[in-house]
């Protein structure tokens, strides 16, 4: 019996989940463990992204192809820095369901498929925080400034991408970067704006399930795990991200890696296509007889 693509996809994901459960108990979510975002529940007055003493350095990447690359770290530490964003509005076409973007045009392989989300300024009327949108815009601006800073550090490092830097000025090198973490977004109501584009692999490097964990604040102001089937457009979520540098021949920049924990502050309404008015002429019905 020939199986449909949907059946094949579900079977592949089922194998991945079974593998994740049998490989190690540490891959399972401990529902008693609080999210690291728990420390930031008083989000109204705290721009978290500035709370971390963030620094841009260059370091020599290990592996089969060692190279010197730019990297974001916490000052005094060479580990990747993680920052918590202010609550942000979910843009069009989020792929945060259990399959991510698996099955799309460019993601037939579970090892290459991603959870994806665009984050933009904005909030529902139910969130009474008049300064939130300013903090969202400022956060995106802050991240753009940090990306430019990292490119400047790379430019002035003798061992970092010297082939890319030798024939251009620092300003040109910074401007030529194609950061996938910051993109231009077209909003139906507010027009063109900057957005943050974040991704997360649906499987880990060892093939285990890498799904995000969703949290919601209960009436006692405690975070509890929830399991929504989808996260809709215009939801308000709080996430953490890391920055990862990439280079493909002459193209280079930073991408944004979505971290495991996602706090859902408000769920948007399911997306509905706008009804297109008919161009047919509106003619009244007039009864009449037809000779046969």
Q: What is the largest CA-CA distance in the chain?
A: 93
Q: What is the pLDDT of residue 227?
A: 93
Q: What is the pLDDT of residue 221?
A: 73
Token duo for residue 39: 């420390």
Q: What is the pLDDT of residue 79?
A: 85
Which 3 state secondary structure label does DSSP give 38? helix
Q: 255: which residues sit within 8 A by CB, 6+ positions away?
A: 179, 180, 181, 199, 243, 244, 245, 246
Name 199's bridge partners.
Answer: 116, 257
Query: What are the Cα distances from residue 32, in Å, to 47, 103, 144, 169, 199?
Result: 27, 33, 36, 53, 26
Q: What is the pLDDT of residue 32?
A: 32
Q: What is the pLDDT of residue 17?
A: 41
Q: Which single residue is written with the structure tokens 């194609």? A: 178
pLDDT tens, position by position, 103-114: 877 677 888 899
Asked if residues 97 and 174 have their Cβ atoms less than 8 Å apart, the reply is: no
Which sign does the torsion angle of CA 274, 278, 284, 285 carry? negative
Helix, strand, coil distribution of the chain in percent, nearest 5? 25, 30, 45
Rounded CA separation 120/89 (Å) = 5
The pTM assigned to this predicted structure is 0.77
What does the DSSP assignment read for 57-92?
A: EEEEE-SSS-EEEEEEEETT--SBP-EEPPPEEE-S
Q: What is the pLDDT of residue 51?
A: 64
Rounded CA separation 249/247 (Å) = 6
Q: What is the pLDDT of residue 176?
A: 97
Asked if residues 246 and 252 have their Cβ atoms less than 8 Å apart, the reply is: yes
Which 3 state secondary structure label does DSSP give 6? helix
Domain ranges of the chain: 30-266
Q: What is the pLDDT along the chain (292 residues), one digit of tens a residue?
A: 555 544 544 554 454 444 434 433 333 433 333 334 444 434 343 445 666 778 999 999 887 778 999 999 988 888 888 888 989 999 999 999 988 999 877 677 888 899 999 999 999 888 888 888 988 999 999 999 999 999 999 999 999 999 999 999 999 999 999 999 999 999 888 889 999 999 999 999 888 899 999 988 878 777 788 999 989 999 999 999 999 999 999 999 999 999 998 989 999 887 665 565 656 666 666 665 656 5
């Amino acid at each position: 019996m020939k199986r449909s693509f949907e059946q094949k996809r579900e079977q592949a994901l089922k194998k991945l989940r079974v593998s994740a459960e049998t490989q190690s108990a540490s891959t399972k979510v401990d529902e008693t463990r609080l999210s690291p975002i728990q420390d930031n529940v008083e989000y109204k007055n705290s721009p978290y992204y500035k709370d971390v003493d963030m620094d841009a350095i260059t370091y020599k990447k290990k592996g089969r192809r060692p190279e010197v690359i730019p990297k974001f770290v916490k000052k005094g530490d060479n580990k990747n820095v993680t920052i918590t964003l202010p609550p942000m509005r979910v843009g069009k076409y989020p792929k945060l369901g259990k399959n991510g973007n698996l099955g799309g045009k460019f993601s037939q392989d579970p090892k290459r498929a991603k959870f994806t989300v665009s984050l933009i300024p904005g909030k529902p009327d139910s969130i009474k925080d008049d300064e939130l949108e300013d903090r969202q815009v400022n956060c995106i601006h802050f991240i753009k400034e940090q990306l430019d800073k990292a490119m400047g550090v790379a430019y002035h490092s003798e061992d970092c991408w010297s082939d890319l830097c030798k024939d251009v000025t620092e300003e040109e090198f910074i401007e030529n970067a194609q950061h996938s973490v910051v993109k231009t977004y077209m909003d139906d109501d507010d027009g063109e704006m900057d957005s943050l584009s974040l991704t997360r692999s649906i499987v880990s490097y060892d093939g285990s399930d890498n799904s995000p964990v969703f949290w919601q604040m209960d009436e006692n102001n405690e975070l509890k795990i929830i399991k929504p089937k989808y996260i809709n457009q215009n939801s308000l979520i709080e996430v953490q991200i890391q920055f990862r540098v990439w280079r493909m021949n002459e193209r280079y920049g930073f991408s944004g890696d979505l971290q495991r924990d996602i706090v859902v502050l408000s769920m948007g309404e399911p997306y509905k296509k706008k009804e297109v008015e008919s161009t047919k002429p509106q003619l009244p019905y007039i009864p009449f007889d037809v000779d046969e």
